[in-house]
Chains A and B, each alone.
Chain A
Amino acid sequence: MKTKRPFQRVERMTPTMRVIHWVNVVAVVAAVVTGLYIAHPYYQTFMADPAVDKYVMAWNRLVHLFAAITVDITSIWIAYMYASGDRHKPWMKLIPSKNNAVEFFEVVLNIFTFNRRKKFDTTHMDSFNAFWFALLHLLLVFMLLTGLQMYVQGLASGESSIGTWWPWILHVSTDWTLSVFGGNMGVRYVHHLGMWAIVIWTMFHIYVQIWRTIFWQEGDIAIAFGGSKFPKKRREES
Chain B
Amino acid sequence: MSERREAAVKLFTAANATVDTNRGETYYTDLYRRCEARLSELRAMAPQSRINLHEVLQDDGFDRRDFMKWASATTAMLMLPSSFTPLVAEAAELMNRVPVIWIELQDCAGNSEALLRSDGPKIDEIVLDIISLEFHETLMAPSGHQAEKQLEEALEHFKGKYLLFVEGAIPVGVGKDWCTIGASGETFEDHLLRLSKDAAAVVAVGSCATFGGVPAAAPNPTGAVGVMDVVKGKPIINIPACPANPANMVGVVLHFVLTGQIPELDSLLRPKFAFGYRIHDNCERRAHFDAGEFVEEWGDVGAQNNFCLYKMGCKGPMTFNNCSIVRYNEGVNWPIGVGRGCIGCSEPDFWDKYAYERPMADANIKAPFGGVEKSVDEFGLGMLAATAVGIGIHAAASALIGKKSTECGEES
Give the B-binding residues of A (Cβ under 8 A).
2, 36, 39-41, 44-45, 47, 51-52, 54-58, 60, 111, 114-119, 153-158, 167-168, 171-172, 175-176, 178-180, 182-186, 188-189, 192-193, 195-197, 199-200, 203-204, 207, 211, 214-215, 234-235
Contact = CB atoms under 8 A, between A and B. Distances in A.
Given A41-B294, A55-B290, A171-B16, A185 B318 contact: yes
Nearest to B376: A192
- Name, among A41, A118, A167, the residue most crowded by chain B CB atoms within 10 Å (CB to CB): A41
A118 B278 contact: no
Interface string B369-380: 000000011011
B377 A40 contact: yes
Nearest to B289: A57
B277 interface: yes
A35 to B, nearest CB: 9
Given A116-B407, A189-B365, A204 B387 contact: yes
Contact of B395 (A57, A189, A199, A211): A211
Interface stretch (B127-135, B323-331, B347-355): B347-355
Which 10 A-B pairs have CB atoms at the shortest separation, nearest pair first? A56-B292, A196-B380, A158-B18, A39-B361, A184-B318, A171-B16, A51-B291, A40-B361, A58-B290, A185-B353
B276 interface: yes
Contacts of A57: 289-292
B376 to A, nearest CB: 5
B407 A203 contact: no
Contact of B387 (A36, A153, A183, A203): A203
Given A51-B288, A179-B11, A185-B318, A117 B360 contact: no
B27 interface: no
B410 A116 contact: no
Contact of B278 (A56, A117, A156, A200): A156
A199 B387 CA distance: 10
Contacts of B360: 39-40, 185, 188-189, 192
Interface string B15-55: 01111110000000000000000000000000000000000
Contacts of A54: 291-292
Contacts of A119: 409-410
Given A56-B292, A175-B12, A203-B387, 15 more contacts: A44-B296, A52-B291, A57-B290, A57-B291, A60-B292, A114-B405, A115-B408, A117-B409, A156-B320, A158-B20, A176-B11, A182-B348, A189-B363, A192-B360, A196-B383
B16 to A, nearest CB: 4
A215 B296 contact: no
A167 B377 CA distance: 30
B154 to A, nearest CB: 36
Identify whether the interface residues of A are mostly helix, strand, loop, or mixed: helix
B42 to A, nearest CB: 33
A212 to B, nearest CB: 11
Contacts of B379: 193, 196
B271 interface: no
A156 B408 contact: no
B359 A182 contact: no
B292 A157 contact: no
B402 interface: yes
A178 B16 CA distance: 11
A204 B347 contact: no
A158 B292 contact: no
B293 A51 contact: yes
B278 A153 contact: yes
B381 interface: yes
29 contacts: A36-B361, A39-B377, A40-B311, A40-B360, A45-B292, A51-B291, A51-B293, A57-B289, A111-B394, A114-B397, A117-B407, A154-B278, A154-B280, A154-B281, A155-B18, A171-B16, A172-B12, A176-B12, A183-B348, A184-B347, A185-B353, A189-B365, A195-B380, A196-B381, A197-B383, A200-B387, A214-B398, A215-B402, A235-B410
A39 B20 CA distance: 30
Interface string B383-395: 1100110010011
B267 interface: yes
Contact of A157 (B14, B19, B301, B408): B19
B347 A45 contact: no
B291 to A, nearest CB: 4
B362 interface: yes
Contact of B409 (A39, A52, A118): A118
B327 to A, nearest CB: 19
B410 A186 contact: no
Given A51-B287, A172-B12, A183-B353, A157 B347 contact: no
Contacts of A175: 12, 14, 16, 267
Given A44-B292, A57-B289, A183-B347, A188 B391 contact: no
Interface string B285-325: 00111111110100001100000001100010011100000
Nearest to B318: A184
A39 B379 CA distance: 15
Contacts of A184: 318-320, 347
A186 B352 CA distance: 11
